[in-house]
Amino acid sequence: MLPMLAVRMQGICRRYYPRGVHANDGASLEVEKGSIHAIVGENGAGKTTLMKILAGLDLPDEGSIEIEGRLVKIESPSKAQALGIGMVQQHFLIFDELSAAENIFFGIEPIRNNKISRLAGIVDSQELNTRAQQLATEYGFAIDPSAPAASLSIGARQQIEILRQLARHAKILILDEPSSVLTEQETRVLFEKLSDIRRLGHTIILVTHKIHEVMQIADRVTIMRQGRTIGTYDISATTLQKLTSLIMGEGSIEEKQEPIEKSQIDKSKIERSQKNPLVLGVDGMTVRRPRYYGIGLSDISFEVHAGEILGICALSGNGLDDLENALAAFQSPSFGTFIFDGHHIEPHNYRRYQSLFQKGLIAYLPSDRIKRGLASSLSVRDNFIALSRHDFFPKGWILENAAQQAILDAIRSFEINALPDQPAGELSGGNIQKLAIARLFSRDFPKLFILCEPTWSLDIRSAEQTCRRIRLAKEEGTAILLLSSNIDEILELSDHIMVLSRGRRVLYQKNSSLLNRAIIGEYLLGNRIHG
Amino acid sequence: MRNQRAFSATFRVLMAAAFSIILAATVLLLFAEDFRSALWQFFVEPFSSRYFFGNYIADTVPLIISGIGVSIAFRSKNFNLGGEGQIYAGALAGGVLALHAPEAFGPGTVWILVAFIGAFIGAIIGTISGLLKAYWRISEMISSYLISAIIINISDFFITGPLQDSTSNFQTTAQIPSVFLLPRIFSPSKLDISIWLALFLVLFFHILSKKSKMGFELRVCGENEEFARYCGISVRAYNIAAMAISGGMYGLSGALLVIGPQGRVMRGFSSGLGWSAISVALLAQGRETAILPAALFIAFLKAGSDHVMIGSGVPSEIISMLQATAMLFITAQVMPKLWQRQRQ
């Protein structure tokens, strides 16, 4: 007999307008009752969207959902709750002013049993605390119901979120990246609790991109890529390596990876030709963040020399955004020294670093093209001249002909599908990207390029062209920092490679044939560390 | 496609204007003793004689000058709600100067000094809000409004206290010497030469915004602050500059009123003008050249309803409600568009 299915989702499509991005493109999911089911995939694979649809937080454009064999429509979170589905989101929704018990029973508080209280909705706080205590004991959580939520640790807050769903009789519990804000110990405690909850007959769906955790706790795993379901596997019948390559989308799973000997990778062996002068050296950069907002960066050091490309790779939430902000003069690091072209820059004189961008010594391509790289209702021409406006407003007044000529040249040589007077927000993602690249590469090469996700949303030909331009800049003696989550790009372009995981440097070495997607993937996922 | 969009935006505003006029007619029908004469008073009388027409145009001058300032600040997404106080303070400073200036200065110098001091005071007050926003992230809307409320009270104190004209029954300062008043150009109305300055300012800010680096950077700041930072534009400086410019324009229009149609600083003379200027800027949707028709329309609403109020005995409260509802129509048409832009 087939095992009972708790959840069966089929052909789920969710398109985000106006850009028409498919977050889910025919995704499917089958979860057995009473199991811990992991959903893994790279960023933007559509895991969270699929779960939001299951929890009634988002509506699918197409597709069907069955809960315990019954076809259902989940059009709201309260409908999901009625069906016994509860989701703990990545960012906790906790009222700091309320107690733990009040947070757990928020909205379903027990009311005092007399007429007036029922009418006025007066909460029976004693009963509230008793029930919270009962619930906590039942599932083996150690929580003081009357403790103010503000005083609780992150781990305890997460337990409150879980209890909140259990108090609403959730039989199917969804957790989105539950370990992303937890320490190792807290993660271990969480996993023990999840096993206990499963033993009591609940079904747990775990969204994550950490495969070693999946191997540790899950019974089955579904892999998603680009909005589609790649496959579902029994954990007992698969390996870490196989999962890694499936997630990364490597074709040849069968290819056996030779384990690398430690002696083969030795960070002290980063060789350089003596001729190339140091352009940017970073020493001990640390970015501290309040724990809610990510993990920041700890003690990152690297060097990039003239005519060299250093590729820096990380999965989202692992510190790449903090690194980008610090390097691009958007947010001063908490500690650490930059040495740019002989200038020492510390957090206290970070402004000096910002001025280097104004002088055109450093040029930067932001990863968030829309938010940081575009004024969407200004024209394509205005967007194009914004960065080098000093050239187009030499005495404070615009040189219209020069600006028009410059944008026409850029449209032609970068093959941008746009008109100079069109509002830039009307362009497609790929053309916005081309515009951003044109803006940087139409000027003289700087001493240092900071390029984040340079081929994002470009078609193959434009991506190749962009890579050619990057190589050209390198040959002209520009030092290049390439921040990307695209491993192929990093492997293809970089002279040296650095990998960040959980805000730490886990790999820093010369690019060679010893490195490939699978190996980088393992560093990215935090399975290997070789600082 | 772009023209089409500009057309539909204009169309919506025109629709709003038409709606408010239909509404006005309906209200007049309900409240006026003689509907036909009330209609005539509303729509035709403001244009019916040199005197009425001149006064109507004179009323647009402060709306144009203040409106252009608000509009420039809009460009950088700064909302100056302190116009009431800034006009008042500019008027008071200009009035005091005109009252105490020695005759030897000659009228030309005094006009320039008065205009300058009015603009300067307004700009200082605006700058305070700009600084508060730039350095402490205090909303410029709230700070400018609250500062204005304080300024109004302080100005009231001066007008009714140390500067009170003891020979007058009104709460007002003394009459400014007639040599220092701006020459009138359309007798017998109150229209004076400040209309030329208003037209010049529209042209000036139009060119500044379209052709200059400063205008360009201001637009980028208003469009997307993070993008402005990426381009190395000091968002902070433009927050301050925008508030200073709009404050300065408010102060200037106050000072010009004092040496123009008013001839003295009366308590509360500018009441409502600050808000009307915001309506003008909203109606113009951030286009400098559109300030002119917008100011003409808002001033027309006021002139028409004043005529009805006097001629047909419709109570002034009804007229105020009429104006408020008309503004509601217009903002309901304009605001969604502004929000849309912000969301992007």
Going from N- to C-terminal start, the domains of chain A cover: 1-84+171-253, 94-169, 276-361+446-531, 374-445
Tell me the per-residue pLDDT of A153-204, one tens digit each, with 9 for 90 and over: 778 888 899 999 999 999 999 998 887 666 667 788 889 889 999 998 899 9
The nearest CA of chain B is from the CA of A346 a distance in Å of: 20
User: Which residues in chain B are contacts of A366 at CB distance < 8 A?
Assistant: 230
Using alpha carbons only, how large is chain B's radius of gyration in Å?
A: 20
Complex ipTM value: 0.81
* Predicted structure pTM score: 0.70
The nearest CA of chain A is from the CA of B331 a distance in Å of: 21
- B211 and A397 in contact by Cβ < 8 A? yes
- B214 and A421 in contact by Cβ < 8 A? no
pLDDT surpasses 80 at A284: yes
- Which has more pLDDT, A427 or B298? B298
Best to test chain A binding among B74, B227, B229, B236 (most A CBs inside 10 Å): B227
Number of H helices, E strands in chain A: 19, 20
For A476-500, what is the mean pLDDT?
90
User: Which residues in chain B are contacts of A378 at CB distance < 8 A?
Assistant: 219-220, 223
Q: What is the pLDDT of residue A473?
A: 93
Fold identical between A1-84+171-253 and A276-361+446-531? yes
Q: Of 3.30.930.10, 3.30.70.20, 3.40.50.300, 3.30.750.24, which CATH number belongs to A276-361+446-531? A: 3.40.50.300
Q: What is the pLDDT of residue A17?
A: 61
Count residue pairs from A and B with Cβ separation < 8 A.
62
Tell me the per-residue pLDDT of A116-132, one tens digit each, with 9 for 90 and over: 888 888 888 888 999 99
Restricting to A residues 345-364, those with a Cβ less than 8 Å away from any Cβ of B are 354, 357-358, 364
What ranges make up the beta strands (E) of A237-379? Answer: 278-287, 297-305, 309-313, 335-340, 343-345, 362-365
B2-343 adopts what CATH topology?
ABC transporter involved in vitamin B12 uptake, BtuC (1.10.3470)
Residue A419: closest C-alpha in chain B = B2
**Any CB–CB contact under 8 A between B212 and chain A?**
yes
Q: What is the pLDDT of residue B29?
A: 75
Q: What is the pLDDT of residue A101?
A: 92
> What mean pLDDT value characterizes chain A?
85
Tell me the per-residue pLDDT of A296-336, one tens digit each, with 9 for 90 and over: 888 899 999 999 999 999 876 688 888 999 999 888 898 89
Mean pLDDT by 10 residues, chain B (344 residues): 58 77 78 80 87 93 95 89 94 93 85 95 96 92 95 93 83 85 87 94 93 93 91 92 96 94 86 87 84 90 83 78 77 59 44
Q: What is the pLDDT of residue B85?
A: 94
Tell me the per-residue pLDDT of A87-114, one tens digit each, with 9 for 90 and over: 998 777 888 888 999 999 988 888 888 8
Q: What is the pLDDT of residue B213?
A: 93
Residues B281, B64: Cα–Cα separation, whole Å: 9
Q: What architecture does CATH give domain A1-84+171-253?
A: 3-Layer(aba) Sandwich (3.40)
Tell me the per-residue pLDDT of A358-408, one tens digit each, with 9 for 90 and over: 888 999 999 888 889 899 889 999 999 999 888 899 888 999 899 999 999
Per DSSP, the three-state class of A205 is strand
Q: What is the pLDDT of residue B1?
A: 43
How many CA atoms within 13 Å lie on the side-chain side of A476? Answer: 15
User: Which residues in chain A are contacts of B213 at CB distance < 8 A?
Assistant: 389, 393, 396-398
- A425 and B344 in contact by Cβ < 8 A? yes
- Which has more pLDDT, A464 or B144? B144
The nearest CA of chain B is from the CA of A24 a distance in Å of: 23
Q: What is the pLDDT of residue A349?
A: 87
Contact A171, A33 (CB under 8 A): no
The nearest CA of chain A is from the CA of B219 a distance in Å of: 8
- B217 and A330 in contact by Cβ < 8 A? no
The nearest CA of chain B is from the CA of A267 a distance in Å of: 34
Question: Which residue in the set A330, A373, A389 is minimally distant from B216, CB to CB?
Answer: A389
- Amino acid of residue B278: I
Handedness of CA B79, B81, B84, B89 (dihedral sign): negative
Q: What is the DSSP string of B198-220?
A: HHHHHHHHHHHHHHBHHHHHHHH
For A237-256, what is the mean pLDDT?
68
For A139-149, what is the mean pLDDT?
86
The pair phi, psi for residue A379, each rounded to 5°, is -70, 165
The pair phi, psi for residue B322, each rounded to 5°, is -60, -45
pLDDT surpasses 80 at A45: no
Question: Which residue in the set A375, A397, A422 is minimally distant from B227, CB to CB?
Answer: A375
With bands split at pLDDT 50, 70 and 90, how would you rate the model's confidence at A7? very high
- B217 and A425 in contact by Cβ < 8 A? no
DSSP class of B76: T
What ranges make up the beta strands (E) of A405-503? Answer: 448-452, 479-484, 496-501
